[in-house]
Every structure is written in C-alpha cells, then in structure tokens.
Amino acid sequence: MLLPYLAEYKWRVLVALTFLATAKFANVGVPLLLKRIVDALSPEQQVLALPLALLLAYGLLRLSTVLFAELRDVVFVRVTQRAIRRVALTVFRHLHSLSLRFHLDRQTGGVTRDIERGTRGISTLLSFMLFSVIPVILEFSLVAVVLLTKFDWRFAAVTFAAVAIYIFFTVSVTEWRMDIRRQANELDSKANTRAIDSLLNYETVKYFNNEEYEARRYDDNLRKYETAAVRNEMSLGLLNVGQSFVIAIAVTLLMILAAEGVVAKTLTLGDLVLINGLLIQLYIPLNFLGMVYREIKQALIDTDRMFRLLEQNREIQDSPDAVALAAGSASIRFEHVDFSYDPKRQILFDLFFDVPAGSKVAVVGHSGAGKSTLARLLYRFYDVSGGAILVNGSDIRALQQGSLRAAIGIVPQDTVLFNDSIYYNIQYGRPEATRAEVIEAARAAHINEFIESLPDKYEARVGERGLKLSGGEKQRVAIARAILKNPAILIFDEATSALDSETEKSIQGELARIAQGHTTLVIAHRLSTVMDADQILVMDAGRIIERGAHRELLERGGAYAQMWALQQQEESLQSRELAIA
C-alpha cells in the first residue's frame, strides 16, 4: 500500500539509495585504508615519509561516511513526509465519507490515535526498512566479499555463523520481550486512568472520605506495573548481554585466527586491524537489530490498523450513474418509507407524505416517535429500508450526495460548534461568503447584538463543542449558519428548543420570513411554533396518525388536539408561577 507513494518520488528514492550505498562503501573502505596505513608504517614496510595521501584519503572516507548518510536523509525526508501526508489525508477523507452509523459507533480517541500511530508507523517503516535493514544487508555483503577475497574461508564461516546466531537470538528474545513490554504498557495505562479518574471525581472522593481507598487502588496498579517494568528491564539486560556474548566470541575467534596468520607471516598487522575494523563496523548496526525489529513490527501493526480504516465499507455511496440535483426550488416526497437502525427494531412504518416546493410541513409528536430520523434520511445519512424518498421526483439514491446536501440547510436539535471564532462558525455555512453576508445572517438570527457586546466581537472563540456559549446562543449561531447557506430545502429540527419564550417569539417571525420561498420541514415539540405550517403531521411510534392544518386538527379533537390542550395548560401554569415569583 505504501509503494504508490514511493513511486511518486522514485528519483528521490533512487538518489537516497545511491547516497546510502556510497556511505556504506565509504564505511567499509575505512578499515581497508587503515590496513594500508598500518602496513605502510610497520617496520617491515616503513617508508621514508609519512603516507600523507593515505591519511588524507582516510579522513575523506570518514567524512564521506557521515556526509552521504546526511545527504540521504535530506533527499528522502520529502518522500517520507509526502507519504505520511497523502495517507493521512486519504484516511481522513475516507472517514468523512463513511455513514453516520460508523461515526456513532466509533471511539473518537481511538480513531485519532490509530491515525497518529499509523502515520508515525509509516515514517518508521520507511526509515528503518530503507535505512536500517538495507544498509545492514549491504554492509554485511561488502564485509563478506572482503573476507572471502582477502582471507581464507574460516574467517567468513565464523562471521556468517555469528551473524546467524546473533539474529536468531535477537528475534527470539525480542518476541518474548514484546509481550512483557505490552503488558507493562497496559498496566501503566491502567494506573494512569485510575489516577485521572480519581482526580476528576475529587469531590466524590471527599464526600465519602475515600482518600485512602483511592490511594490503595492506585498503589495496587502501580505495584503491578512495577513488577512488569522490572521484568522488562531484566529482559533488556538479558538481550544486551546475549548479543555482546555472541559478538565477543566471534571477535575473539577471528582475532585468534588473524593473530595466528600474523605469527605465521601469512597476514600482516594491517590485516589484523582490517578484520577488527570490519567486525566493529558490522556489529554496531547489528546492535540495533532488536530495536529495529521491534519498531518495524510495531509500525506494521500500527499502519495495518490505520489502513483497516480504509477497508471500512461506505454504507452510503453514490451509484456510478448518479446525477446532480438541479438548482432551484425542490419538492420532497416520502413514499411508503420503512426504516430501522437495527433490523430487530423498526423505527418508521409506511410513511407517505408530500412537501410541495416552497411549502412548509411540520412534524410533531412525542419523543421517540421518529421525527428526527426523517431529517437524517432526507440528508441521506442512512438509506431507507423500504420505499423511497424523492426530491423533485428523483430517488435521492440516484442523486449525487454532494448536490443533494448542498440543497439542504439544517438547524439540528443538538448544535455542536467548532472550537474557533463565532465568525468562523457562522461562515462555515458558506465558506466563500463575505463578512457583510455573515453579519447579515447573524442579524437575521438575532445574535448580532450579543456578538457585538463581546470583547472580541466576531473573533470571540466558542470553546470545545461551543461550550463557552449557552444553549440558546449556540442555536442562534446554527440558525445564522443555515440562513447563510441559503439552500432550497430548510430543515428545522427543534430549532428553537433551547431558546427562552421571549427570544423564541422574536426569532419565530424571522424564521417564517426565511422559510418563504423555501421548501421547509419543521420538526417541533412546541406546537405553538408550527401553527402557520401548510400541513402538520402527527407521528406516534414511527407512524403518521394524523395530518392536516392546525385548525383542522384542533377541530378533529384527536391526538394533536390533546397535545395542544396539554401544552396550553403547561404554559398557563408557568405564566402564573412567574407572575407569583
């Protein structure tokens, strides 16, 4: 899955690999040159002057080892960062394309951590696979060539055997250590969660005099973590000692073989230095093998978890022949619609109603009747289980989602704002809108006066999920946002539920004015807000039990008339209580 991102910068990858190879050739060249310098200075071959050319070349090779390694990183960094950016953006877009069902089931913290760890895993994979595994293989190959061409087979045999034992031991112990490390991490998280939970509930702890009880529970988690952490450190010590033991035996055997060769005059002191230098340069990167193996394995797990997000099926997606909804006025028809979030529990039953273009239809009923589900289905957050929803005579499943949603403006019951300025949140309805249009929308929503009273005015920040604003202020921002969008279809889902009676009355006339010329679906609990609707639908348990204009329904004396009488009674009671107060 990462290869396409590497292919985009194939020339950079090739240049980086060239620099890498150059650095490794220089690295292996250092002991070879050092051998010549030692031999040139030995009593048997001592020259009249210092071998300055060799010494200068030695310094140049040392510099080249570092220089080309750094150049490799400079060239490759754009490849890594571009791959991270592209993958993260692909996952982000995919998450936004998934249905509401996925987002209601997800754990936001877990998803963001998956993306964060996954992008970091990409960086780790690219860096370690290209710049740790490949260099070790290349360096080992170069050392093997030198040993096989310049010395007898015993030197290569000892080196190969030592490397094989070293890799087997490192991988085996690292696998074992990963379980210990995972357990230590889980216990650390538990202890941390216990502490945070206790501190967040500080008042409850105090109310019940449970400070010592909380301390004991926290200490119990810490004790378990302490045991796991000690095991983890001991296992690391075992790994390091074992690796050093293998290296020490191999180096000792090779030095004995080299020393025998020097004594027998088949090898020079320079050869002894060469073998020692080659082995040191080979085993230094091998020392990181355990860490590299662990990091690569963890990175594979992390990136796999992130890429699994891309495998989440889009429950709602455009059909290949989907067409755009034509601009202009729009009519809505719910045609024998059945729907269930869960197959075991049906929410809507055989719903049939029309909202002619430019008209206003209200839906009322008790909580849980399925009113808000209508807005979700019209917005195509879900597809109907049976029947069809038509806009301008076209099944919305045959329309492009982007054009359908562009034609709908919604003021939801639960308004959530971005942690940004009020201006940003209103302008979000139409990002290209001018400042004058934003302010005009705020005036229409009766929130401009409140905004102007703030020290930072329109630049005042609303806090996480808009928590710095009251429920009514948030709802008016949402109304301003919908007004600014100026869509063909308006949905008010309990749009004034968080407003006080006085503000509701003042804004009700404005909403009626805004609704003129728009196809409007009003979902309401307060019946006084829908008296002017062209048609009122009364829902109960997912069915339409009554329909008609306000006066017709009152005269009929059914469920709507009972709800009206009950609400009028509640309002008169509240008025009397306020008058007494």
**pLDDT(192) > 80:** no
Span 124-131, average pLDDT: 70
Span 552-572, average pLDDT: 81
Cα–Cα distance, 268 to 264 (Å, whole number): 10
Cα–Cα distance, 125 to 292 (Å, whole number): 10
Q: Return the percentage of the chain with pLDDT > 70, whole number.
A: 79
Are the C-beta atoms of 139 and 285 separated by less than 8 Å?
Answer: yes
Task: Among 151-155, 399-403, 493-497, name the one with the lowest average pLDDT.
Answer: 493-497
Region label for 548, one of left (φ > 0), alpha (ψ between -120 and 50) or beta (otherwise): left
Q: What is the pLDDT of residue 170?
A: 82
**pLDDT(576) > 70:** no
**pLDDT(202) > 70:** yes
Q: Hey, what long-range contacts does 98-104 have (CB within 8 A, 24 or more apart)?
A: 98/312, 98/314, 98/315, 99/314, 99/315, 99/316, 99/381, 99/382, 100/376, 100/381, 100/382, 101/315, 101/341, 101/382, 102/312, 102/315
Span 397-412, average pLDDT: 83
**pLDDT(326) > 70:** yes
Cα–Cα distance, 569 to 515 (Å, whole number): 29
- Classify 4 as helix, strand or coil: helix
Cα–Cα distance, 417 to 337 (Å, whole number): 32
Q: What is the pLDDT of residue 577?
A: 63
Are the C-beta atoms of 387 and 334 separated by less than 8 Å?
Answer: yes
The closest of 370, 374, 334, 337 to 354, measured between CA atoms, is: 334
Cα–Cα distance, 25 to 30 (Å, whole number): 9
Q: What is the pLDDT of residue 506?
A: 62
Cα–Cα distance, 539 to 530 (Å, whole number): 14
Q: What is the pLDDT of residue 137?
A: 75
**pLDDT(566) > 80:** yes
Better-scored residue on pLDDT, 458 or 66: 458
- Classify 106 as helix, strand or coil: coil
Span 65-87, average pLDDT: 74
**E strand or H helix that includes residue 118:** helix 108-128
Span 250-271, average pLDDT: 79
Q: What is the pLDDT of residue 136?
A: 72
| 12-37 confidence digits (pLDDT tens) | 777 777 777 777 777 667 676 666 66
Q: What is the pLDDT of residue 41?
A: 63
Task: Among 86-90, 328-332, 385-389, 405-409, name the one with the lowest average pLDDT.
Answer: 86-90
pLDDT band at 43 (very low <50, low <70, confident <90, very high): low
pLDDT band at 99 (very low <50, low <70, confident <90, very high): low
| 449-499 confidence digits (pLDDT tens) | 888 888 888 888 887 767 777 777 887 888 888 888 888 888 887 766 655
**pLDDT(107) > 60:** no
Q: Could you confirm whether domain 418-486 is CATH 3.60.70.12?
A: no
Task: Among 19-33, 167-181, 211-225, 421-435, name the one with the lowest average pLDDT.
Answer: 19-33
For domain 1-151+297-315, give the CATH superfamily. Answer: ABC transporter type 1, transmembrane domain (1.20.1560.10)
In angstroms, the Cα distances linking 151 to 27, 254, 258, 261, 274 are 19, 11, 9, 10, 11
Q: What is the pLDDT of residue 530?
A: 81
Span 163-187, average pLDDT: 79
CATH code for 328-407+488-548?
3.40.50.300
| 263-273 confidence digits (pLDDT tens) | 777 777 777 77
pLDDT band at 169 (very low <50, low <70, confident <90, very high): confident
Structure tokens at 237: 């010590």
Centre a 10 Å sphere on the Cβ of residue 238 and count the other Cβ atoms it contains: 13
Better-scored residue on pLDDT, 403 or 117: 403
In angstroms, the Cα distances linking 433 to 153, 385, 408, 423 are 78, 38, 17, 11
Q: Residue type for 297, please?
A: K
Span 305-333, average pLDDT: 74
pLDDT band at 581 (very low <50, low <70, confident <90, very high): low
In degrees, rounded to 5, the angle at the alpha carbon of residue 47 between the alpha carbons of residues 42 and 51 is 90
**pLDDT(131) > 70:** no
- DSSP letters spanning 202-224: HHHHHHTT-HHHHHHHHHHHHHH
Q: What is the pLDDT of residue 105?
A: 54
Q: What is the pLDDT of residue 416?
A: 76
Are the C-beta atoms of 228 and 183 separated by less than 8 Å?
Answer: yes
Average pLDDT score over the chain: 77
Are the C-beta atoms of 496 and 508 separated by less than 8 Å?
Answer: yes
Region label for 329, one of left (φ > 0), alpha (ψ between -120 and 50) or beta (otherwise): beta
Radius of gyration over every alpha carbon of the chain, rounded to an integer in angstroms? 37
Say if strands 519-524 and 535-540 run parallel, antiparallel, or are unpaired.
Answer: unpaired
- Dihedral angle computed from the Cα positions of residues 99, 101, 104 and 109, in that order, rounded to the nearest 10 degrees: -60
Task: Among 93-102, 323-332, 357-366, name the one with the lowest average pLDDT.
Answer: 93-102
| 511-550 confidence digits (pLDDT tens) | 777 777 788 888 887 777 788 888 888 888 888 888 888 8
Q: Hey, what long-range contacts does 465-470 have (CB within 8 A, 24 or more apart)?
A: 465/416, 465/417, 465/419, 466/415, 466/416, 466/417, 466/418, 466/425, 469/417, 470/498
